[in-house]
Amino acid sequence: MNRGPFDLIIFDYDGVIADSELLNNAVMAELLSEIGLPTTLDDALATYLGKRWLDCEPIIAERLGAPCPLGVQDEWTRRCHDRAQRDLTAVAGFDAFLAGRDERRCIASSSPPDWIELGLRCFGAHDAFAGPIFSAAVHVSRGKPHPDLFLYAADAMKAAPQRTLVIEDSPTGVLAGAAAGMTVVGLCAGGHIRGDHPERLKLAGAHQVFDSYADLAAWITDAA
């Protein structure tokens, strides 16, 4: 097994483990357009990527000029879950990366635990991952870009922030990891990545940005 310079690796979920950001944001764009807020997939990715529904809702209300209609969150969840069971896959290289590491691991995501559990079971990673799940929808009052979720996870895992690696795909998540005093890498291996995304992650404070899990694994080995 391959132990690097970190005692704990914290994985974001959507876009880092599950290649789900296109699915989630396509449904978001679809629903918002239906309620009178025309939204493209790229609009949704630029605005809502990496955020909890609790933090998305005020943005929707402001843009709509009225409260977000009741039932939109439930319908978004229902459609995402339905499509995930047919279409969801892991981010390329995740399985191989996991097999080669022996650091402690956990998930710290803006998504609720049932969504994360669904995906892990859909693409057969639930038993292989074997790490705790921490959710900003459950465990903290402030979501990303605040550092609370990552600090909560590290404390629960008894790991020092300076010995913790965060793997993120969104500027919001990178900001949270950097604010927690952790080493943060941006991973651009998901299907939602657009042209300037690596630069946006660097601007948010990512220490390194990688196009693949293989490149990330090589960097950890070199840093050991």
Mean pLDDT by 10 residues, the chain (224 residues): 78 96 94 97 92 93 95 95 92 91 92 94 87 94 97 98 97 97 97 92 98 96 82
Nearest to 30 by CA among 87, 79, 86: 79
Cite the residue boundaries of each domain of the chain with CATH code 3.40.50.1000: 6-16+90-221
* Rounded Cα gap, residues 115 and 92, in angstroms: 19
Domain 6-16+90-221 grouped into CATH 3.40.50.620: no
Give the model's pLDDT for residue 19: 94
Give the model's pLDDT for residue 1: 47
Give the model's pLDDT for residue 18: 95
Contacts 24+ apart (CB under 8 A), 75-80: 75/31, 76/27, 76/28, 76/31, 77/115, 79/27, 79/30, 79/31, 80/20, 80/23, 80/24, 80/27, 80/115
**Which one-letter amino acid corresponds to residue 185?**
V
**For 185-204, b where at least 16 C-beta lie within 10 A, e where not — what string?**
bbbbbbebbeeebbebbeeb
* Rounded Cα gap, residues 26 and 55, in angstroms: 18
pTM of structure: 0.89
Which phi and psi (to 5°) does residue 103 adopt?
Answer: -65, 155
Between CA 108 and CA 130, with CA 24 as vertex, the angle to 5 degrees is: 35
| Of the options 1.10.10, 1.10.1220, 2.30.30, 1.10.150, the CATH number for the domain spanning 19-85 | 1.10.150
Give the model's pLDDT for residue 101: 83
Centroid of chain to Cα 115: 12
